[in-house]
Structure 1
Amino acid sequence: MVTMDAASVAFLREALSTTRWVERTREFGARLRTTRSPGGLLVVGTPEVEPWHLAAHLDDEARLSGLGQLAPTLVRWSPPPGAPAHLAVGIDRIQAARRGETLFVVAEDKAPAPLLDRVDDARRTGATILALDGGDPDLEGLAHDALAVPPDERLFTFDAAQHLVSMAAGESPRSGGRLIDRLARLAERITGPRVPD
């Protein structure tokens, strides 16, 4: 997985500005913000690929934006014994998903039947289902909203889509979430307030 910094994501947005992708990832990011409380955003992948990198970016966005509901719970298929609490949430957590919580499924490859079964259960208990996928009609059929990045997408990768979505999730709908403003806030936290000349 290639790591992208904020400047790289801004460059990618600029390159995609004439396509539907920027607006679509912003809409999807706004859906992530509808989760009611911290810990209620459940992020799960397939047994083979855990979306820990995306979960880390969402956690950063929650801190930078002050939107606590974006602080994710990474749901893992097989957490190792003795894992830290934030890495020890097992797949059974999906069964406890309720109205006001969001199950965010991140699966570049086709979702296996056990994952689809759990997604269906969470939907029946009232959780909002969102999917970032590679074009899986079964998963998309269960989702309230899905953003598909087909394997033949030439403009950007599945990894890049994750970065666009996580950054969009942290944008304030009131201010438009201008990247320059967010970078300035981050710099101020690191170096202290800017003193005028």
Structure 2
Amino acid sequence: MERTRELGLALRATRSPGGLLVVGTPCDEPWHLTAHLSDEARLSGLPQLTPTLVRWAPPEDAPAHLRVGLSRIEEARRGETLFVVAEDKAPDPLLERLDDARRTGTTILALDGGDPELAGLAHDSLVLRSDGPLSFDGAQHLVSAAAGEPPGRAGLRGRLARLLDLVSGPRIAD
């Protein structure tokens, strides 16, 4: 729990809206996490959390926000954050781009399944083993919630409790 919070808070280091780049693998793009980060940016009033989904092969006829390709990583600079979400091993073309982006001052964060090469490039990472107590999907939810967590409030547990209350509906007295 604490590591998901630390990684979520590290996402706030991004300086500008759209400067938080979220990328996955060719077979698993982090749509769900990107949507949650977008919600957190809006609900928490933290525009720097507004993510840009970077895709491996975006269709040319897709809306502009879904047409961002890997070349965006090559344009990343200091003050931007590249968040790699890869349950499986990160492909070599991504690792090469990450290395280049790191040299330009881009902050590299990762949520992964234990890729040592990715860990070597990331400034901070959270490794989730398949046999661990938390699922990869569950960790994505916790990281995005922590990113939007208001400072000085009840914390991640309080936010999760409020979320559960919203989802489960009002309590009915016996």
Q: Which amino acid aligns with 1:174?
A: G
Deviation of 1:172 after TM superposition, in Å, equals 1.4
Q: Which amino acid aligns with 1:64?
A: L
Deviation of 1:175 after TM superposition, in Å, equals 2.4
- Cα 1:182–1:69 shift into 2, 3 Å: farther
Q: Distance in 1 between matches of 2:143 and 2:59?
A: 28
Deviation of 1:122 after TM superposition, in Å, equals 0.6
Residues 1:173 and 2:163 are matched in the alignment? no
- 1:119-159 residue CA offsets vs partner (Å, 9 max, x unmatched): 10110110000000001110000000000001221x12101
> Which residue of structure 2 lines up, in the alignment, with residue 75 of structure 1?
54
Question: Paired residue for 2:134, among 156, 160, 170?
Answer: 156
Q: Distance in 2 between matches of 1:179 and 1:166?
A: 11
* Mapped contact 1:64–1:182 kept (Cα < 8 A): no
- 1:26-83 residue CA offsets vs partner (Å, 9 max, x unmatched): 1111100111010000000011110011000000000110110110000001001210
Question: Paired residue for 1:119, among 98, 119, 134?
Answer: 98
Q: Which runs of 4+ in 1 moved over 3 A?
A: 180-183
Deviation of 1:182 after TM superposition, in Å, equals 6.5
In structure 1, the gaps of 5 or more residues are 1-21, 187-197
* Mapped contact 1:41–1:72 kept (Cα < 8 A): yes
Q: Distance in 1 between matches of 2:161 and 2:130?
A: 34
Q: Distance in 1 between matches of 2:146 and 2:129?
A: 20
CA root-mean-square deviation: 1.7
Q: What secondary structure, in the 3-state scheme, does the structure 1 residue paired with 2:34 have?
A: helix
> Which residue of structure 1 lines up, in the alignment, with residue 122 of structure 2?
143
- 1:76-105 residue CA offsets vs partner (Å, 9 max, x unmatched): 010012101110101100000000000000
Residues 1:88 and 2:67 are matched in the alignment? yes
Q: Percent identity?
A: 73
Q: Distance in 1 between matches of 2:136 and 2:4?
A: 12
Q: Which amino acid aligns with 2:126?
A: L
Q: What secondary structure, in the 3-state scheme, does the structure 2 residue paired with 1:48 have?
A: coil
- Paired residues in the alignment total 163
> Which residue of structure 2 lines up, in the alignment, with residue 18 of structure 1?
none
Matches within 5 A, 1:10-159: 22-153=1-132, 155-159=133-137
* Mapped contact 1:99–1:128 kept (Cα < 8 A): yes
